Amino acid sequence: MIENLFDVSTVLSVSNVAVFLFVLIGGVLISLSVHFIPIGGAPAAMAQATGVGTGTTQLAAGAGLTGLLAAGSVSAVTNNLYLPLFIGSISSCLMIAITMFSANLVYIFGVGCPLVSGKRQRDVITKDRQDVYVSKGTEGHGTPTASFFSGLIGGLIGGFGGSLTYVSILYLCTKTVGISFAGSAAFAATCSIALFYINSVIASYNIGGTIEGFTDQKFKKMPKAIFVSSIASAIFGIITIATVYLFIVPATGGIF
């Protein structure tokens, strides 16, 4: 069994390199998507900053895991490889939209404040004046139109990245190695969740906890996070492929 470890031609086949690249791209897309989502952190929970009032990890992971769940359920009933990607990204986008909308309802009818951002004089999309509505001592409240639109883009990208990782690892396990669907789906979901956590925290460290979407100045710091998350995702991809070849092939002989 041990010779499987060093069989270079098996491990370095075209499909495995493609899976590695897809995992890398998926990780980078997840990191990119966090920059689009309006995250307010603790200040936004007290209606003192723009965005949804929770941390990066929870928000990104919540939307991303919804996408993974949808992608997983779709891939169980179809052999099409592209359908899970789109269903995953759309359901992720839907989840983030529902989160932002329900938070906005609380901000409007519960706290009683208009949806504005203090960083721009006019909203980028609707061109409405917003600086006069910002309460003194705060940076804005709620999720205004530009941030909402940005959050939708973030949900689409993040869901696509997570589903891409899931589908590529699932493909590696089922088609290349030949494991049963249930086992490979569980393994792929575990790996995708881990990748989601790592990359969302990298993006979170880059933006310092809060961001308002693509209208924010912090959005320009994005290339650094992409560099860091590409390195982390590359190592992650290597470990994943190594695990599949070290673990599942020799230990189980493909039966599990």
Cβ distance to other proteins smaller for residue 101 or 247: 247
Task: Give the nearest distance from C-beta 211 to other proteins in angstroms.
Answer: 11
Closest of 232, 231, 200, 205 to residue 218, by C-alpha: 205
Task: Give the nearest distance from C-beta 177 to other proteins in angstroms.
Answer: 13
> Which of residues 46, 98, 110, 208 is near other proteins by CB under 8 A?
208
Task: Give the nearest distance from C-beta 72 to other proteins in angstroms.
Answer: 13
> Which of residues 36, 148, 196, 214 is near other proteins by CB under 8 A?
196
Spatial separation of the C-alpha atoms in residues 210 and 35, rounded to whole Å: 9
> Which of residues 187, 211, 212, 214 is near other proteins by CB under 8 A?
187
* 2 lines the binding site for other proteins (CB under 8 A): yes
Cβ distance to other proteins smaller for residue 157 or 202: 202
- CA 91, distance to chain mean position in Å, is 12
Q: How far apart, in Å, are the Cα atoms of 105 and each of 38, 132, 209, 232?
A: 16, 21, 23, 38
Cβ distance to other proteins smaller for residue 55 or 155: 55
Spatial separation of the C-alpha atoms in residues 154 and 96, rounded to whole Å: 9
Residues 6+ apart with CB under 8 A from 217: 119
Looking up tokens 């891409």 gives 164
Spatial separation of the C-alpha atoms in residues 230 and 92, rounded to whole Å: 22
3-state secondary structure of 202: helix
> Which of residues 122, 175, 220, 224 is near other proteins by CB under 8 A?
224
* 67 lines the binding site for other proteins (CB under 8 A): no
Assigned token pair, 57: 């990890």
- 8 residue type, one letter: V
* 190 lines the binding site for other proteins (CB under 8 A): yes
* 219 lines the binding site for other proteins (CB under 8 A): no
The contact set with other proteins (CB under 8 A) reads 1-2, 5, 41-42, 55-58, 61, 182-183, 186-187, 190-191, 193-198, 200-202, 204-206, 208-210, 224-225, 227-228, 231-232, 235-236, 239-240, 242-243, 246-248, 250-252, 256
